[in-house]
Structure formats: structure tokens, C-alpha cells
Structure 1
Amino acid sequence: MYKYNTIFARSFSKNEKKRLGYGSLIMAMSIWIVFKHCLSALSLQKSMVIGVEKLMIKNTSISQHLESEPKELKPICNVMEARSDFCEITGDIRVHGNSSTVHIASLQTGNLVGEKSWNIRPYTRKENAAAMSSVKNWSINQLADHKEIPHCNINHSAPAILFSLGGFSGNHFHDFSDLVIPLYLTSRKFDGEVQFLVTDNRPWWISKFRKILEKLSKYQIIDIDKQDNVVHCHSSIIVGLKRDDKELRIDPSKSPIGITKTATTLGYEVVVAEANLSTDLSKFAQIVNSCDVLMGVHGAGLTNMVFLPDNAILIQIIPIGQIDSLARTDFGEPSRDMNLSYLEYKISKKESSPTKLYTLDHVIFRNPKSVHKQGWDAVRSIYLEKQNVKLNVHRFRGTLSKALELLHYR
């Protein structure tokens, strides 16, 4: 099973988190969805960078070393992944923000053979045209003519990672699945010694996740689009972010992780909380991380499960509208990868607010597939934004009892 270590919990407090001596339940309530966030600071081992030596052929008869025949190098840009394109370049790199171009003056391992230029949109949802429409296109070019190489204005000793804050940033689910977790996966091996270059900048996003960003980079973030014709020079750069094909997942085969202990307790202390753009993320993360159970209606807010401690429980309330598969893909499967126990509760029609507006034989109840055929905007409007849930506490009691049972035996 894939497991998260406490990805960002230590990003928010200098003290070790204290556990409650009883089970605790947190309910995140919002206008259209109910949820919370949870990231913990993964303490990953430093990666080793292995140098590539030139192959030499020793001619013993004349005691000379001859350089081997030229071989085609591994492409510096990977455009074969399902979710993101990214380039990893080491050499003499010149980044020109005004033209959205990364110039390769020279490579550490020699010249490229074959393709020498790429176009990259550095965001991790390349399969989604709507997301990528707001992501700037960057050109990666190796320059053969030294007369074309722009002069450096600022030389950096640290490697760089260039990524976009466009796409679906601002949606809590996508903030983590498309940006925070991929950024962590891409940058953590540098142990803070990396410079972030941001394109399509959204300052409020940086403010919201500042404490996480400060754990991943020791340097001030550069808005590369607004550099007034300045050329930034690095000896190494990654353009784009790496991510897993599945949502909200860190593959342990690619990222070593540590595990935190959780209390085994009985009973609930209920905490009702709501997060928005003005919420102090670190304080909110601490609230979620102190709880044993998180419950909420399907929606972006459930992304806050990333702040839950190891072995905690996620209860996802699934509204009407035949979104079971989406609910399990977005949160059910990822929760197991995070070493969380997962329960779901599918509401009845009478627990849904549209029953006050429509009869029970209306098409939105009788044939949700017809609504889905109208496209995502219709689904979101009818089944998410306009649907409130009022739980039948007697019917829901069984799910809470099951959560208590899981807490008892964990």
C-alpha cells in the first residue's frame, strides 16, 4: 500500500504535535461542499546525483585514450507522461522570462543529437485543455550559434524549478493534486537548495502556501514573467513538475517516507471548521492533524485529508447525482494510499436539498445520466453547487459506529 508520511505537519509548527487521549471527529462545512486539508512535512532522504563519465577506449598498443563514438543522449525533456511534461537540464542555462524561453548554451554531457527544441506548458494536467488554456507555453532551445546566446544578468548558484500557477489553481483539490504534491516530489531532493521560478503567477496562492514553500526552498520565489528583460542563469533547471498518474499520491518507490503514530482511542470530540482563502493554513492544518476522523460531503474541501495523521479515518458523504465513481477516484483511492481508513455514506433523496424544489420523479433524481451528458458545468451546478445535504442522523449513526470500531481496533 502506498503511504504518505506526515507530509507537511512539521511545516506548520516547531513543536511535535500532541495527540488527544480520545477519538476526535472533525466536520468541515462549506456552502457547497464539506471538508479540510492535511499536508505533513515528508522527511525524505537526500538523493544522490550520479555523474556520467565519458566512455574511453584504451589502445594498449599505443597507450592512448580515444573518446568513444558519439552516442545519442537521453532526451532532456520527457513528454511521454500521462499528466505532465517536464525537462531536466544540466549545463549552461539562460532563462529569459519576457520571451518565455529557456536557452541551453551548453550541456554538461555534450551536445544533443536529434531534437533540440521543445515547447512545454509547465503544469501537471496536460490532458485537460481547459486547465492548460491558462498556462503559458515555454520554449526550450539549444543554441548552436554562440552569437545568439543572451548574456547573463543574474547568476544563481542554486538549481531552478520553473512551474506555472495557472490551470486550476485556486480550487483546493487541484491546489494539492496539481501543484503542492508535484512540487514536493520535484523539489524535495534538493533539501531547500533550489530556486523556484514561477510563471502565470498568482500572489495570493503563494501567500496561502507560503509556509510549505519555505520548507521546500530557501530562496525568494521569482516571478519570472516580470523580470524586465533580465536573463537568469543556472547550471541546472527542471521545467515543469513531476507527478503520479493517480490523484493526491506519492509513490513510495520514487519517494522514501516516514510514518507517524496515531492514538488508539474511543469516543468523539466534534470540531466543526471551515477553510477559505483567508484562513491561516498552518492553524487549520493543525486542527485537522489533531483529529482521528474527518467527515465531509464530496468536494474540493475533502482535500484537507492530507493533513490527517497516519491511520486516521476519512468519511466521505456522497450526494445524489451518480458521482460515486468520481468520489472514489478523487478521495477514496487516495485515502488508502495515504494510510487512512476510508468509509463512505451515500445519502438518500430525502437528505438532499433539491427535493424541496423538485418532485422525487424529476429527471435529476430519476436519470442523472441525462444530466451528465450535458457536460461538467451542468453536473457541477445541479449536483454540487446547488445541492445541500441534511443528514438523517439515525441513518448516519451506523457509519459513525463503524468509524469508532475502526478506531478501537487500529
Structure 2
Amino acid sequence: MYDPIFAKSFSKYERRRFGFCAFFISLIVALSICSTFKPRLHPLSIIGDAMNLRLSIVATQNMLEFNNTSEISQPTVDNAANFQLSIVNPVPNKLIVNDTRGSSRPTAIETTKMEPLCSILEPMADYCEIKGDVRIQANSSTVFFVTNGINRSAGNSSWRIQPYARKANLGAMNYVKNWTVKLAENEDDIPMCTRNHSFPAILFSVGGYSGNHFHDFSDLVIPLYSTSLKFKRDVHFLTTDTKPWWVSKFRGLLNKLSGHKIIDIDREKEVHCYTKVVVGLKSHKELIIDPSKSRNNGLSMHNFRQFLRQTYSLERTNAIKLKKGNTKRPRLMIISRKRTRLLTNDAEITRLAQKMGFEVIVDEADHSTNLSRFAQIVNSCDVLMGVHGAGLTNMVFLPDNAVLIQIVPLGAIDGFAKTDFGEPSDGMKIKYLEYKIKVKESSLSKQYPLDHPVFKDPRSFHIKGWHVLRKTYLDQQNVTIDLRRFKGTLAKAMKILHH
């Protein structure tokens, strides 16, 4: 307590001196106490404590960024959660700070970063890129990733992947096996390696809609090219849901992408081990490679078509350039379907095209067709035409600046037509023309009255589902072209070739 009597015994100046002395005596006592209880206190240790706290916060944030899958359902083909499985990998760079809890000797504290393992964010396909100790056990359809002490979140640590690039289509995915990608510790019950490989592997399904020419390229060939090109042929192809005839059909192309023997993984009894495995294929859109989504600058539809030309010995890189007085006739191929969406008057169309100056070929490939031979025939043409269907996929073999004419049947399927062939044509440097038929050009005009919903309200068939839509407009509709109308489309194609 402040004593006024004591204060009056001294002058104002003397009282101030006493105050300063008391402050310094208190400071000395405080430092003595600190020295007694923490003799190694150093100003830099305060900085060290701050750094330790900061690193602890960073580590906590990194652990929180590691996805906890205990509350995330398994991805399915029709309802996949937007989820990326991540692993924690040490970063080579280390920060040196003082550990104030023991010796004053500096210690190294590793920071960590998150790297994606599986991606199910893309609309077309799920895939995993696994780097490390990877073991593939076929009899359990499981890909084990041995984490060797890498921190991982508690809860579910396995994910189901269907390695086929059409995940939203239940019809296709019914024919694709489920594979499990599973994180495992050394002490877990995991299989031992019986065959070790020094090169990477890609595991993919040949199920789904394989065998349909469009899906062969859109779901398999182009995604496989996009996924494997960076390995420069030093990659192992592991096929599941294998169809031997499909592998034989595309043998030449597969051998250009991989220098190793293809393994039907479903038949394997051994445990194959790799240091890098890709489960599934990367796919962007129908018959499209998006360079902006790839780290490899060499990925594009232009380069893919160059790859096809090398694979199948396709000589022509550019379509004919017509000039006045040029007697050379551009070549037109008519894809003649045999089962559905038949072009019933292809003979009349042939004669019309010939009169207009085209050389005409009528053909269609099937399962038994030699793909290399057919690719060379298509490459010799300047115009490819046909009713909407898988046969138009042969546009991939056309030379640059060639013309594609798609005949679109009734049924409000313009969107499908544009997505499947209209949009991809631009990336292939192919000129695209579309011919939409009228009611009188459709065989449906002979099956239904003109005021029927099949003509007036095609959307009502769309909402009933793909099965009804396909049966009505794709399986039961043939086309008879109005030659007068179609002549204008052929004239446009001829004009384009005068480039």
C-alpha cells in the first residue's frame, strides 16, 4: 500500500530515484528465477518455439486435407462422389529449427505434401495412378498399394474402380469387372510378389461396349493412347474382361503403344508387382483429346491421327485440292449399314454423286474386316458419308481437310449426332456437314400416322429411357434420301474441296 507519511520524508527527486532502483531490482530477481528453472533459455529458442508451432499447424492442416473415406460411399457408375484419394509423401526439402525440449542441437523437421492417388472427378472415367510398392492379385481382383508407414486417415482405405471409360453408362458398366484399390501396411495380410517388373503397367477393361466400332475408339483406343503415350512403349498392358478377338483386331495398334506382351490379368495366378500402375484409362470426351487436360504436350487428336497413319501405313495426310481445269475426281465413301438405319437408295445416291464429279465407294467394316486394309481405303477418300452410327467413326482415318457428311435421322437425336461426330471433327481437321432428314425420308412415315407423337413429340420417347428411344428411332428407322435435297449437300462438299 502507498504510504503518504513515508513519501513526505523525501523530496520529489529522491522518491523518483527510489522508484527506478526498485524497478531494476525486480528485473534482476525475475531473470534469476528464469535462469534457475530454464538455464538454456536463449532468445533464438523463442523463434524456434514459434517455428515448431507453425510446423505443427501445417502438419495438422495436411492431415486434415487427407480425405477421410469413412463417411464417403464407394463410387458407382451412376452416382460417383467427387473424391480424390491422397497420400502423404515426404518432401526432400527440410526446415532446420531448434528443438527447445532437449539439446540445443538443430534438428530436421520434414514437411509433407498431398499427392492424388485416385481420381473420380472426370465425367467419363475413374482411374488411379499408383507409385510405390504395388501388387496385383488377379484372383481377388485387387490392387494392393503397400504404404510402408505413410500416414493415412482412419476408416475405409479401399476403393472400387471399374477400369472402363464410360462410367455413367450402366449398360456398358454391367460388362466391366470391379477392381479394388486397397491401401495396406506391411503387417497386413497382403500377398507376396511372385513376379516383379521393372516397368509400369496399365490395367484396363476390354468389356463394356467393345466390339462396336465407335466405342472401340471412344472408350478404349483413344483413352489408351492418352494414358500410355508418356511411357514411350515401356509399359505393360494388363487387360481384364478380355476378348481375344478384340486384342487380335487391334494388335498392330497395341504393339505401337507397348513393347511388352499383353497379359490377360484375369487368368493370372501369380502376384504381379510394379513400382507404378495406372488402373483405368483417362478419357476427356467422345473422340476428343483435350490438350489442356494433359501434362503431356504431345497429346492431341491431330497427333493421334498421325499415330494412326504410322500404325496403318496411311499415305495421305491431306485431302485433294480441287482447282479449275483439274480433271481428278474426289473420292466419296458411302457407309452402307446392313442391319439398322439402312440407306435404302444408296445406288441412286451413288449415281447422283458420280454425275456431280465424285468417284464413289460403297462399303462398311464389320468384326471380320481387316482394320488395316479398311483404314487405307478410308484414307484414300476425300468425303465420308453415312447415317448416324458407328461406321462414321472411320473419320479418324480420313486425311486432313476431308469432309464428313452425317445424315441425321428423325427422333430429336441432333445432340447425340453433334456430340459423337460433329464436335470431334474440328480437332481432327475435318470439315463437317449435317443433313437432317424430313419425315417423308424416314421409314417411320410408313409405320405411324403423321400426327403421331413419334413425329410431333419425340421428347416423350426420350423421357421413357434409352431403350425406348433406341428401339423407336435407331433400330426401327431406315432412310430414303430425297435426291433433290441431298444434291445441295454434295455440292457443298465439292465446294469445300476447292480450298
Alignment of 1:108-123 (within 5 A): 111-114=150-153, 116-123=157-164
Tell me, in whole angstroms, the C-alpha distance in 1 between the residues paired with 2:482 and 2:90: 64
Give the match for residue 231 of structure 1. Answer: 271
Query: Which residue of 436, 440, 452 corresponds with 1:346?
Result: 436
Is the CA contact 2:91–2:110 (under 8 Å) kept in the aligned structure 1? no
Q: 2:228 aligns with which of 178, 187, 208?
A: 187
User: 2: distance between equivalents of 1:240 and 1:137?
Assistant: 11
Larger Rg: 2
| Equivalent residue for 1:264, pick from 316, 321, 327 | 321
Query: Structure 1 CA distance, aligned partners of 2:107 and 2:320?
Result: 64
**AA paired with 2:108?**
L
1:75 aligns with 2:116: yes
Tell me the residue number matched to 1:207.
248
Query: What's the offset of the Cα at 1:191?
Result: 1.2
Q: 1:106: Cα distance to partner?
A: 4.0
| Cα distance, 1:130 vs structure 2 | 2.4
Gaps of 5+ in 1: 1-50
TM-score normalised by L of structure 2: 0.67
Change (3 A) 1:188 1:52: farther
Is 1:167–2:257 an aligned residue pair?
no
Q: TM-score, normalised by structure 1?
A: 0.80
**Displacement of 1:210 after TM fit?**
1.5
Alignment partner, residue 126 of structure 1: 167
Superposition deviation, residue 192 in structure 1: 0.9
* SS, match of residue 316 in structure 1: strand
Deviations 1:328-352 (A, max 9, x none): 1111111112221110001122222
Runs of 4+ with deviation above 4 angstroms: 58-65, 257-260
Which residue of 2 is the match for residue 138 of structure 1? 179
Deviation at 1:86, TM superposition (A): 0.9
Give matches, 1:261-300, under 5 Å.
261-265=318-322, 267=329, 268-300=358-390
1:393 aligns with 2:483: yes
Q: Secondary structure at the match of 1:305?
A: helix
Residue in structure 1 matching 2:94, options 56, 63, 66: 56
Instruction: Give aligned-pair identity as a percent.
Output: 54
Shift of 1:117: 2.6
Per-residue CA shift, 1:28-70, capped at 9, x if unaligned? xxxxxxxxxxxxxxxxxxxxxxx9851223469989672414x
Q: Distance in 2 between matches of 1:241 and 1:65?
A: 44
Cα 1:400–1:58 change in 2 (3 A) is same
Higher mean C-alpha displacement, 187-196 vs 350-359: 350-359
Q: CA RMSD in A?
A: 2.3
Greater helix content: 2
Aligned residue for 1:162, secondary structure, equals strand
Return the offset for 1:225: 1.0
- By relative contact order (CA 8 Å, sep 6+), the higher-ranking structure is 1
**How far has the Cα of 1:287 moved from its partner?**
1.0
In 2, Cα distance between the equivalents of 1:357 and 1:104? 58
Distance of 2:376 and 2:150 partners within structure 1 = 50
Q: How many angstroms does 1:187 deviate by?
A: 0.4
Do residues 247 (structure 1) and 286 (structure 2) align? yes
Task: State how far apart, in whole Å, the 1-side matches of 2:219 and 2:151 are.
Answer: 30
| Unmatched tracts of structure 2, length 5 or more | 1-88, 307-316, 324-328, 330-357
| Separation in structure 2 between the aligned mates of residue 343 and residue 52 of structure 1, nearest angstrom | 54
> For the residues of structure 1 that align with 2:411 and 2:98, how far apart are their CA atoms?
76
Cα separation, 2, equivalents of 1:142 and 1:341: 49
Q: Does 1:218 align with 2:256?
A: no
**d(CA) in 2 for partners of 1:64 and 1:303?**
65
Structure 2 CA distance, aligned partners of 1:223 and 1:367?
48
Does the alignment pair 1:303 with 2:393? Answer: yes
Instruction: State the AA in 2 paired with 1:218.
Output: G
For 1:170-229, what per-residue CA distance to the aligned partner results, in whole angstroms no more than 9, with x for missing partners? 22221111111111100011111100111111222212221111111111211111113x
Using the TM superposition, name which of 197-206 and 246-255 deviates more: 246-255
1:294 alignment partner AA = L
**Separation in 2 of the partners of 1:84 and 1:369?**
28
1:145 and 1:373 mapped to 2: Cα distance? 52
Aligned equivalents of 1:65 and 1:180: distance in 2?
Answer: 52
Aligned residues between the structures:
354
User: Which of the residues 439, 445, 448 maps onto 1:355?
Assistant: 445
Match of 2:423 among 311, 316, 333: 333
1:233-263 CA-to-partner distances (Å, cap 9, x unmatched) read: 111100111111x211011332425474443
1:29 alignment partner in structure 2: none
Alignment partners' CA distance in 1, 2:90 and 2:166: 32
